[in-house]
Structure 1
Amino acid sequence: MAHLTAALAAPDISLPLLVVAAAQFALFAGADMTLLMHVWRAHNQHQHQQLHTQQTQRLGQVLLLLYVRFYLVLLLATAVSWALASQAQLLLLLAAYSFWVPQLLHNIHSTSKQPIQPSYILASSAARLLLPVYVFSCPDNILTLPTQPWLVRALLLWVGAQVALLLLQHYTHPHVLLPAALQPERYNYHRPELPWHYAAGDDLLRDVVEGCDVVTGEGVVECVICMGPASLMPLGGRVVTPCGHFYHKQCLLQWMEVPVGGVACPTCRWGPLPPL
């Protein structure tokens, strides 16, 4: 949209800008929307599996709705920007460059740990700031727009604040931005727990646990992901799911990254599992 707007504002170089705008739209409609669909499937694995199992046509309807919503929001944002371009330039520019705000909110909601590498955050932010910094700082810019240093400073401060908060979440915890009273209660994967089959008294399953002391909780239980022994003590050496199954922490982390099935317990398929 930036190249299309620039083509309308600068008739002398409109043809090259229109070619670039057409190429970027083709890239957006193809690769970017495909990436968006994969992201939706990754974030809604449980719903995606249910839809695929129930009816393929229903899954197509959900994906079509995703496309329609995205393009409607895009067209509405373009129309509003065109109508308010002269009256609320700073507000529109800050809104357009709030691209890290959804990621900040998603990190808080999903308790995602280090979802994006700092190098990508810094590089992509710098690349997106290149055009407005050039247009509003260079006196001889191709759009012949007047320089506005205050606008550049405001934009740099706004994007810099978003990047700083993302890096703070990356190196500490996603909930670091929330007061303690507003932070949601997290499931404790290291809670004290005996193997569920000991509590049930199932003799057929007692062979899974070797030398387990029902009083102290010490012993070894089999991790069904790697088929190796997982010590019940100390508590930090193993994780236990809400359904009462024990695994190595690294094994469960790798399991939860599996695109299909990783949201459910490997043993009983209970899910979705809370963030680890």
Structure 2
Amino acid sequence: MNTLTLVQLRGFLSQMRHHEEEHASVTKLSVVGIAMQALMDAFDSFLHLSVAAPVQALNTYNFAVVSMLKFSLFALVEVRYLLLIWRHHHQHVFAEGWETVRQELSRVYAQFYGALIGGLVFIFVASDYLDIVALVMQAYWLPQIIHDVRHGSKNSFTRRFVITITVTRTLEFLYLWGCPAGIFNGDIYPQLPGAQSLELCAAALCLQAAQVAVMLSQQRLGPRWFVPWICLPDVYNYRRTAQAVAGSECVICMLEITPEDGFHIVTTPCDHRFHDSCLERWMDVKMECPTCRRNLPPM
């Protein structure tokens, strides 16, 4: 658990550094998705303390270290990341003055820590269903998938971050509910509800695999590729007229746009044409036309 938590810390710090160095848009990220992961680590921190506190054993120190690392992960890294995303989603609030910012931040903190306290109370009251609660919490990528579909954004997280977080959180779940020689066997530490369940572990693996597959496919095929057109909101079609004009060039890469480019040509609402990959990289930084500076809808 110490090793997995350190890997998660490194993963989050690398992802945050990616946004700073690559100037990637933080508005692509889901506040709910990051908050859900922060709550998971907060629950882990408090549950490790609650399990180890009444037991006078040699490995109580190890539980305390795990709890400290998990607390550092959620309180110092994930909550900071959460506030960074929230700030970019609510730029208009900062234009209304400090009093409005203070009120909105107080509301965000109240909602987050209210969910934390309420979740802890629910876990202790419904401890017999901890296995179901843990399985539901494994759907922490779902808010990001929905956010990408609604806003037409992709490449929200790096592939390395998605794989790292998924693997570490899945290994933790598989140990707790799948390892036959785990320490939560009822001898010293209490046995977990539904522990040593192959069906539960298989469900967690299938859930994680499905989420990662959808997120990676969104990066390659587009954020809404699996949503029927009839279910989509009124979105702009960048490939409405993909005909290349002789002598035109992509002002982003400064290369000529030729008829051979075919499907890789996109047209903005202001009738300017670019290579799709060029415009996607541009829109990761600015949601405006490189030629006329008009605001652009998501691709």
TM-score higher than 0.5: yes
1:206 is aligned to: none
TM-score, normalised with respect to structure 1:
0.70
Residue 246 in 1 paired to residue 272 in 2?
A: yes
Distance change >3 Å, CA 220–CA 67, structure 1 → 2: farther
Within 2, Cα distance between the matches of 1:183 and 1:225? 29
Q: How far does the alpha carbon of each residue in 1:5-40 deviate from its partner, in whole angstroms, 9 at most, with x for none?
A: 234334234343134313422332222222112222
- Correspondence for 1:93 among 134, 140, 156: 134
Offset at 1:230?
Answer: 7.8
Which secondary structure does the structure 1 equivalent of 2:168 belong to?
Answer: helix
Within 1, Cα distance between the matches of 2:207 and 2:235? 31
Report the residue type matching 2:116 in the other structure.
L
Offset at 1:177?
Answer: 3.0
Distance change >3 Å, CA 134–CA 104, structure 1 → 2: same
Within 1, Cα distance between the matches of 2:64 and 2:283? 44
1:274 is aligned to: 297
Distance change >3 Å, CA 235–CA 176, structure 1 → 2: closer
Q: Which runs of 5+ in 1 are unaligned?
A: 194-215
Contact map agreement 1:230 1:246 (CA 8 A) in 2: no
Contact map agreement 2:45 2:68 (CA 8 A) in 1: no
Distance change >3 Å, CA 27–CA 155, structure 1 → 2: closer
Residue 62 in 1 paired to residue 96 in 2?
A: no
* 1:212-231 correspondence to structure 2 within 5 Å: none
Offset at 1:266?
Answer: 5.8
Contact map agreement 1:231 1:237 (CA 8 A) in 2: no
Report the residue type matching 1:111 in the other structure.
G
Offset at 1:134?
Answer: 1.4
1:32 is aligned to: 78
* 1:71-86 correspondence to structure 2 within 5 Å: 71-86=113-128
Report the residue type matching 1:28 in the other structure.
F
1:140 is aligned to: 181
Report the residue type matching 1:126 in the other structure.
V
Q: How far does the alpha carbon of each residue in 1:66-106 deviate from its partner, in whole angstroms, 9 at most, with x for none?
A: 222222222222221221120x2342122111111112211
Which secondary structure does the structure 2 equivalent of 1:189 belong to?
Answer: coil
Contact map agreement 2:176 2:184 (CA 8 A) in 1: yes
Report the residue type matching 2:50 in the other structure.
L
Contact map agreement 2:45 2:71 (CA 8 A) in 1: no
Contact map agreement 1:221 1:246 (CA 8 A) in 2: no
1:111 is aligned to: 152
Within 1, Cα distance between the matches of 2:98 and 2:292? 26
Within 2, Cα distance between the matches of 1:238 and 1:97? 39
Distance change >3 Å, CA 161–CA 231, structure 1 → 2: closer
Within 2, Cα distance between the matches of 1:147 and 1:192? 57
Q: Which runs of 5+ in 2 are unaligned?
A: 1-42, 186-190
Which secondary structure does the structure 1 equivalent of 2:287 belong to?
Answer: coil
Relative contact order (C-alpha < 8 Å, sep 6+): which is higher?
Answer: 2
Which secondary structure does the structure 1 equivalent of 2:153 belong to?
Answer: coil
TM-score, normalised with respect to structure 2:
0.65
Residue 256 in 1 paired to residue 283 in 2?
A: yes
